[in-house]
Every structure is written in structure tokens, then in C-alpha cells.
Amino acid sequence: MRVEDLTSESEKLYCVCLEDWSEDIKEAGKHKEKWYQRMKDKGLGVKIARDDNDEIGGMIQYIPIEHSFVDGKDLYLINCIWVHGHKQGRGNFQKKGLGKALLAAAEEDVKARGAKGIVAWGLMLPFFMRASWFKKQGYKPIDRLGLQVLLWKPFNEEAIPPKWIKQKKKPVIVPGKVTVTAFINGWCPAQNIAFERAKRASAEFGDKVVFQEYGTYDRETFLEWGLSDVLFVDGKQIRTGPPPTYESIKRIIEKKVKKLNQGTVA
């Protein structure tokens, strides 16, 4: 097994989070490529792990925290670590040491860049990016936002603890219409799929639905709202991880449109 930097060969695979085999990922659009092009000159770090058969099975991506969705200084944030675990496509590469090796390589890289510490985020639930996994790897919980935990590993005494940035504004609902408000950062294909499905479903209802789109890769926009990847229908947040099916998003919007047509308040 070995960990290496991104190459022109692995760049494409990285942009689809190693899921080139997936039909769903095709719905994610070009958001991650665009994000990657923007972030690669702003300190984005990517490492790729290969197993003993030289197959790519894992990736980790981390950025200077000043460009992330977290408040902090002189630290790096791990957006995500992913060791391919699906049976389909590439197959399951988990529990073979790739994850630990990727994390160690990212920490070493971030230290060499002169950062004062490294930060990860995880969920308090036993799936997706688990906070408990980072805890086991020596990361200390430092802040919480709902079920999301921020964890960190300071490298020296000067490191300042990072904090979650909270929601600052609510979407503005357009009277007489169904308002779909979508915030998209770009780094996460799962979120990009949810965004694209919501956009496509909204378009099906013509001028009954207003689709408001905010690109939060622009940090000013992110800081104005305190929202990175979030979807609202008439101001109500819709769960987007894992991405809802196209049909379920459409159903939510359709219900609101029907109420509009009946002249009742949703």
C-alpha cells in the first residue's frame, strides 16, 4: 500500500470521489472540478492511497481553514477522507490500513506547510464521517453543532481552537411562489447531486417555483449566510446527506405547488 500526491491520471477519479462507476455521480455536474480548479492555488492538499495491487482505493482532501466552512486561523481542515467501501465498482478497500495511512500523510504535509494544527469534522452517528473514528486517531472534540462535531489535533501551544460558523440568515420566501433555496460549495459530489436534482425538479414547475442559488465557494457569500451546502423548500431545510432521490425532492416541491394552486398557505 502507498500514499501519493494527485497526478493528472488520478485527478479525474478524485473529482468523482473514486466513484467513476456510479450512475448517480453523473448527476453531480461539474461543481467539484470547478471547486478543485479554484482551490488548487489556495492551498488545497489531496492524497491518494493505492492498495498492494496498485489500485486506487482512498483519498483525503484538506484546505487552509480560512477557505473552509469553519472559523479558524493557521490550521487546515480535512473536508473529507474516503476509503472506497462500496461492493460495487472498485470494491471495498476499507479496514486495510488505507485510512490511517492517508490521515498520517495529510498530517505530515500540513505540518511541513507550517500550520499550527489540523482539524476534522464528523458526525455523532455511526455512519458517514464518524467523529468517533477521528477520536480514535487522537483528535479531540472541540466544538459541536447539532450532530456535527469539530475535532482537532494542535501541533503546538500557539494553535487557536477552531469553531463552527452558525447560520446567520434565513432564506427569503417569494410570496405567491414556491421558493427553493440552494447553497452549494462544490467540494462534495453528494451535495452537488442534491443541488442538481433540486434545480432540475424546480424547473419542472415553471414560474410556480423560484430557484435561488448561492455559491458558497465564495467565502463572502458563505460568511453572509453561515450556510455551506444546504437546501430549503419554502424556508424548511431538506435533508441532503445522503442525497435524496430526484422523485422525493420533486414530491416535496409538488406538494407545495398544489397548495399554491388551491390558494392555501403551505
List interacting residues with ligand COA (CB under 6 A): 80-83, 85, 94-100, 128-129, 133, 136, 190
In the bound state with ligand COA, the residue whose beta carbon lies nearer, of 95 and 169, is 95
Residue nearest to ligand COA (CB): 99
In the bound state with ligand COA, the residue whose beta carbon lies nearer, of 105 and 260, is 105
Q: How far is the CB of 176 from ligand COA (least distance, A)?
A: 38
In the bound state with ligand COA, the residue whose beta carbon lies nearer, of 133 and 217, is 133
Q: How far is the CB of 126 from ligand COA (least distance, A)?
A: 8
Peptide bond into 242 cis (omega under 30): yes
| 81, 83, 120, 236 from 130: Cα distances, Å | 11, 13, 10, 26
Q: How far is the CB of 158 from ligand COA (least distance, A)?
A: 28
Dig out the grid coordinates for 204 from the structure: 419542472
Per the document, the length of the chain is 266
Dig out the grid coordinates for 253 from the structure: 416541491
Q: How far is the CB of 172 from ligand COA (least distance, A)?
A: 31
**Eight-class DSSP state of 59:** E
In the bound state with ligand COA, the residue whose beta carbon lies nearer, of 81 and 209, is 81
**Per residue in 117-156, is it b (16+ CB within 10 Å) or e — as a string?**
bbbbbbbeeeeebebebbeebebeebbeeeeebbbbbbbe
In the bound state with ligand COA, the residue whose beta carbon lies nearer, of 83 and 149, is 83
Q: How far is the CB of 141 from ligand COA (least distance, A)?
A: 16
